[in-house]
Amino acid sequence: MTGTNFDTLPETRRPQAGPPLPPLAISVIALSMISIMLPMLLAGGANYPSPFGPEEEIVGWFRMHPTSAILTVLLQFAASVPLAIYAAAVWSRLNRLGVRAPGPAIGFAGGILASAAMAVSAAFTWALTRPEMLEHPELIRLLHDLAFFAGGPAYVVPFGLLVAGIAVPGLLARLLPRWLAIVGLVLAGIAMIATLVVAIPELAILLPIARFPSLAWIVACAFLLPRSRAAANRGAQSGVSTTEAARR
């Protein structure tokens, strides 16, 4: 699981550390949560329409709340950018920590796919804000379903790969607290099961169960993942907590 200890190399030969993880993770969760809460407030408390609701309710919401819809698009699309950067940065961090197993690459692929799915979902929702679309209820329903699929299963399942790609090496290489790594594996498992939502809509409850705790989980990892293998080793040898090791 481990390779060259990069901290023993001369400064000019060490791989670049990459952007700091905490600001990226916080940006993802902040933009994601604001994209849900702020449009609802602007819509007077009216919830974003469920894709499983009646067509009249869906069409009526987009006709009555175009500003809320476009704000959802803006914030959702904005959240996809730091997510992609986070996936690349954490892949680089794990490589710097000496992890040579496929896990980080799988996590990177999952993060990029989740970011792309979020952007595609925003694109479908953006199409719903076009005035000419509001005269075609059947197209509104179709685009809303596509936006749900992209922002639901197509986002959550790859996000589970990102979580698993961090949790597995975090557990095996002792880069994360054991409890945090195990929680990540459980969340990744729930995200994988959410694939069944495509065939069994009643399992859609798994989407928020996997989505929101996973967002909080990547924030915790951003703070606790050590910056160098030497820091992780020092923490393990001296009994220092992973939190303290991550600060060194």
Residue 122 lies in a domain: yes
Alpha carbons 86 and 162: distance in angstroms, whole number: 10
The per-residue pLDDT for range 57-75, each reduced to its tens digit, is 888 898 898 889 999 999 9
Q: In 216-238, which positions are buried (b, 16+ CB within 10 angstroms) versus exposed (e)?
A: ebbbbbbebbbbbbbbbbbbeee
Is residue 8 assigned to a domain?
A: no
Tally the domains of the chain: 1
For residue range 122-138, list pLDDT tens digits in order. Answer: 999 999 988 888 888 88
| 212 occurs within a structural domain | yes
Any domain includes 186: yes
Residue 45: exposure state from Cβ atoms within 10 A (0-12, 13-18, ≥19) = exposed
Is 4 part of a structural domain of the chain? no
Q: What is the pLDDT of residue 237?
A: 52
Tens digits of residue pLDDT in 105-122:
999 999 999 999 999 999
Tell whether 222 is covered by a domain. yes
On whether residue 162 sits in a domain, the answer given is: yes
Dist. CA 173–CA 242, nearest whole Å: 12
Query: Could you give phi then psi for residue 126, rounded to 5 degrees?
Result: -60, -40
Q: What does pTM read for this prediction?
A: 0.85
State which residues form the domain around 136: 19-246
Average pLDDT per block of 10 residues along the chain, 248 residues long: 41 59 96 91 84 88 90 95 97 91 94 98 93 86 94 96 96 95 97 95 94 97 85 52 46
Domain-embedded: residue 160: yes
